[in-house]
Amino acid sequence: METIDLLKKVRKIEIKTRRLSNNIFGGEYHSAFKGRGMTFSEVRNYQFGDDIRTIDWNVTARYNEPFVKVFEEERELTLMLMVDVSSSALFGTKNSLKKNIITEISATLAFSALQNNDKVGMIMFTDQVELFIPPSKGKTHVLRIIRELIEFKPKSKHTDIKIPFEFLTQVLKKKSIAFILSDFISPTFEKTLKIASKKHDLTGIKVYDIFEEKIPNLGLVRMQDQETGQLKLVDTSSKKIRDNYRKEMLFKFKSFNEIFTKNGAGTILCRTDESYIKKLLNYFKNRA
């Protein structure tokens, strides 16, 4: 991609997602993801209604009048984006490719973190870690993340969700707010999710296309697996085939929710032709 075209795309995504994070998600993000705890800030004169357990007896004795300790939330957090860049993310049939939705959601989350003065890092993965951007602050850093989301070319086409969870556990020693964005077409990953969720606040965002939810009746269709390249003729006019596919996909959706929920992690289901804005907003409000 030419530099000028890349800059235009980065700017377009920045304008859209920054407006969302500033006007909609900023406060919700702050409420949903609180700091590590309360830290001492200052002392002030006791006021009617103050909890007597907060009285600072040393200062009170020194000045012969009651003073209380004031605590504030230790706000600074680290947001980690774990982004699936395998070939299946290049699928899309209506409004957008899965990759485009993943990019916009990631940018919105990054700007929300920036607005709250939190660090942001990113792990781009397939069946290997393709790129690691260590957590840092600032607009320039967030714009770099967006550039990589737009133009990065992975080495592998395949997906293995175990990989980013293992890497996250190894490289980040302190607790982070971690979002993994993928279609979750992957071998089993529950064991590594369980380990990572004990240390980090995890949320899985499953981005999928409507045709991955149910197959329309289009007659005999040649379908290709984006990750393996395998071609297959499918008779979509067969109600049995469509029903079996639908049952299998519903089972996978249910398994996704159950695996994350069982391990104390959150989930968001986001179809490419639906508003991810509403999905994120509802999720933040429910967590607050």
Residue type at position 252: K
Q: Are residues 70 and 144 in the same domain?
A: no
Beta bridge pairs of residue 82: 123, 180
128: pLDDT strictly greater than 60: yes
Q: Are residues 15 and 50 in the same domain?
A: no
Dihedral of CA atoms 236, 240, 242, 247 in degrees, nearest 10, equals -160
What's the pLDDT score for residue 164? 97
Structural domain total, the chain: 2
35: pLDDT strictly greater than 60: no
Q: Are residues 128 and 257 in the same domain?
A: yes
* Residues spanned by the domain of 103: 3-32+75-287
What's the pLDDT score for residue 116? 82
**Residue 271: partners with Cβ closer than 8 Å, 6 or more residues away:** 207, 208, 209, 210, 213
Query: Tell me, what CATH number does 100's domain have?
Result: 3.40.50.410
Mean pLDDT across the stretch 107-115? 88
Q: Are residues 98 and 142 in the same domain?
A: yes
What's the pLDDT score for residue 50? 83
Band (pLDDT 50/70/90 cuts) for residue 268 is very high
Mean pLDDT across the stretch 163-183? 94
Q: What is the mean pLDDT of the chain?
A: 85
Higher-confidence position of 113 and 34: 113
What's the pLDDT score for residue 257? 95
Q: Are residues 27 and 42 in the same domain?
A: no
What's the pLDDT score for residue 152? 94
Higher-confidence position of 203 and 67: 203
Beta bridge pairs of residue 232: 223
Q: Are residues 115 and 58 in the same domain?
A: no
Cα(109)–Cα(157) distance, integer angstroms:
25
Q: Are residues 178 and 43 in the same domain?
A: no
Q: Are residues 154 and 59 in the same domain?
A: no
Higher-confidence position of 205 and 48: 205
Distances in whole angstroms, Cα of residue 223 to Cα of each of 38, 89, 218 = 55, 16, 12
pLDDT digits (tens, 9 = 90+) for 238-257: 888 888 888 888 899 999 99
> What is the model's pTM?
0.79
Q: For residue 53, with 0-12 CB atoms within 10 Å meaning exposed, 13-18 middle and 19 or more buried, which class applies?
A: exposed
SS3 63: helix
192: pLDDT strictly greater than 90: yes
What's the pLDDT score for residue 213? 82
23: pLDDT strictly greater than 70: no
Q: Are residues 220 and 81 in the same domain?
A: yes
Q: Are residues 108 and 49 in the same domain?
A: no
pLDDT digits (tens, 9 = 90+) for 198-216: 999 999 999 999 888 888 8
